[in-house]
Amino acid sequence: MTGKIKLAILRVVFAAAVAFAQTSATDAKAPPKAALLTFNKNIAPIIFQSCAECHHPGGPAPFSLLSYKDVKKRAKQIATVTKSRYMPPWPPEPGYGEFIGERRLTDEQIRSIQHWVQEGAVEGVRSTVPSAPKFSEGWQLGQPDLVIKATQAYTLPAGGSDVFRNFVIPVPVSSPRYVKAVEILPGNKKIVHHANILIDRSGWSRRRDEQDPEVGFGGMDVATESESFEPDSHFLFWKPGTPPHTEPDDMAWQVDKATDLVLNMHLQPSGKPEVIQPSVGLYFSDRPPARFPMLLQLERDGALDIPAGKKDFEVTDEFQLPVDVDVLAVYPHAHYLGKDLQGFATLPDGTKKWLIWIKDWDINWQAVYRYTRPIFLPRGTLLSMRYSYDNSAENVRNPNHPPKRVVAGNRSSDEMSHLWIQVLPRAREDVRIILQEALMRQRLKKYPADFSAHFNLGSILLSQAKPQEAISHFRDALRVKPDDAVAHTNLGAALQSIDKLEEADSHFREALRIRPDYINAHYNLGNLLLSRGNPEEAIIQFNEVLRGQPDDADAHNNLGEALAIQGNLDQAFSHFEQALRINPNHANAHNNIGKVFAIRRDLASAVAHFEQALRINPDHPEAKENLKRAQAQIGKK
């Protein structure tokens, strides 16, 4: 029997929104004050480099600044907003993190704009103007290697509050591909506040979509299941004006056959019905990933209960690194009451390193900030966030007049306190599961009754062969959500691993009572029944698995084992063959089909399959014994 137990780990997308454009710029030096400043020679380079990314036809800004006529019309306004540093938007304080694409104007550039306006906003010699940048309404990185699209259009109602909708988009690949960049074309940008991409290999989101009568399904905090540990690793966020980011080839992320992308979109009604049908463009690398970043989240939403009129409400969170890492990027997030957002690291020797400091937070100018050079943080470093909120009438961004109590939530009128940090562990081996375990333990210190933290920590501990501690966390998870089929299944798997078979059986059956189509529960119950000498009922369970997943090699192999026990060798042989067609490197299927050949006295074929099983798994005990027997029988002839 295969002995493999199928588990699930929950992955959650938290509400987020990111990134206005980040455009790298070379400072345009102001000429001597005595010289007459002109648009074409002195001002156009500044505008094109630092403003045009948003201010172009079809861009996120309300007007274009690609011509002298456009700029002259708003010259005084431009002088005012650049002098106050309201524009171009660049919230991080200088000296508290060095970031790629910094849009902050130099003092000389600001003085140049002031003098140009004071001198009459002269155009100058047209031959001296640089070429205006070009922007595409389509794919910014060129034609993608693969374009996928929501299968149906969705109509957003004319009115009401914000809508959070999830569009499930299958990725039509037959073998693993490696994604180095992704772009989103929302199809109707004026109603899209932001979008997140979630990778789903389990089919969970597809089933959820089928249960919803409308296109896609609702909800902002989306949890999916995964049979392997796959933490969020890249900032797959989008907001109007966000430039796409291309990862190094060796840091691409993998997409497999039967993978779905879930486009988690925050939509805002416009006053009339709006149709939207988003597309996603994927850009592939030929190289499989060799470096595996991970997103760490500091947050304190549970402490957000901000009284009306409170001017300096503060929340904090911290996380101690269990491994050495390089920090690649950071993304702070709050809503309208956010004021002062700090992220920093305290090294084991007490040294403080700033990750980011935004002293005047504005939700309209949030972004993912990528460091010009990775920041090394050794094991034992304490990551910290300290956010303050202003719920007074003096806060010009306060959406409530007069102010009212505000708590945590997904709506823009609620609040959030998130600091996402992308790190790249320095260890040669993959140590992300160590980071995830530490994150879950830290989360349980804040929220002792958190279902996802108990569930995921239990799954991690079971994968580390710590079933007793895993069982404790699965039981805690079920105390929070008694009717969660996935938690019952994982608890059953943990109990099965320590031979508490009766109790394991009861949890698998309870999972199927709650969710009759849950494939992992059918599979694990079939395995348990097979181990207890009940092939007849095991066959029923494995057939249920194959009804939902016809290409499950493990289920074909185990169904073959159950049929062989009943003496149905021909049917068993057929399922072993199917398992090997799906997965030619299935050691157990090679061993099992070898046993059938041995029973049929085809010892040469039996030996070939036993040897192949051992090439795949040199420590396969049954294949070793079967090979000896077959070779001995050949020797007697």
Q: Which of 238, 253, 256, 243 is CA-nearest to residue 284?
A: 253
Paired with 184 in beta bridges are: 280
Average per-residue pLDDT for the chain: 90
Quick one: fold of 139-285?
A: Jelly Rolls (2.60.120)
CATH number listed for the domain at residues 294-445: 2.60.120.230
Note whether 115 and 348 are within 8 A (CB): no
14 vs 285, more confident: 285
Q: In the chain, what are the domain boundaries?
A: 39-128, 139-285, 294-445, 446-636
Express each pLDDT in 501-526 by its tens digit: 999 999 999 999 999 999 999 999 99
- The arithmetic mean of pLDDT across residues 138-160, rounded, is 91
- Token reading at 154: 């969705």
- Token reading at 377: 């943080």
**What's the pLDDT at 59?**
75
Looking at residue 141, what DSSP letter applies? T
**What's the pLDDT at 586?**
97
446-636 and 139-285 share a CATH fold: no
Amino acid at 345: A
Please state the CATH superfamily assignment of the domain spanning residues 446-636 in this structure. Tetratricopeptide repeat domain (1.25.40.10)
475 vs 233, more confident: 475
Note whether 274 and 157 are within 8 A (CB): no
SS3 423: strand
- Token reading at 608: 């070939």
- Token reading at 133: 């940048």
Sheet containing 352-358: order of strands: 313-320, 382-389, 338-346, 352-358
Query: Cα separation of 241 and 218, whole Å?
Result: 25
Looking at residue 415, what DSSP letter applies? B
- The arithmetic mean of pLDDT across residues 246-275, rounded, is 91
Is 20's pLDDT higher than 50?
Answer: no
Express each pLDDT in 68-93 by its tens digit: 999 999 999 999 999 998 899 899 99
Cα–Cα distance list, 89 to 62, 64, 86, 132, 333 (Å): 15, 16, 6, 21, 16
For every residue of 44-107, DSSP letters joined together read: HHHHHHHTTTTSSTTSSSSS--SSHHHHHHTHHHHHHHHHTT-SS---SPTTS--BTT--PPPH
Query: Cα separation of 335 and 304, whole Å?
Result: 12
Note whether 492 and 505 are within 8 A (CB): yes
Is 411's pLDDT higher than 60?
Answer: yes
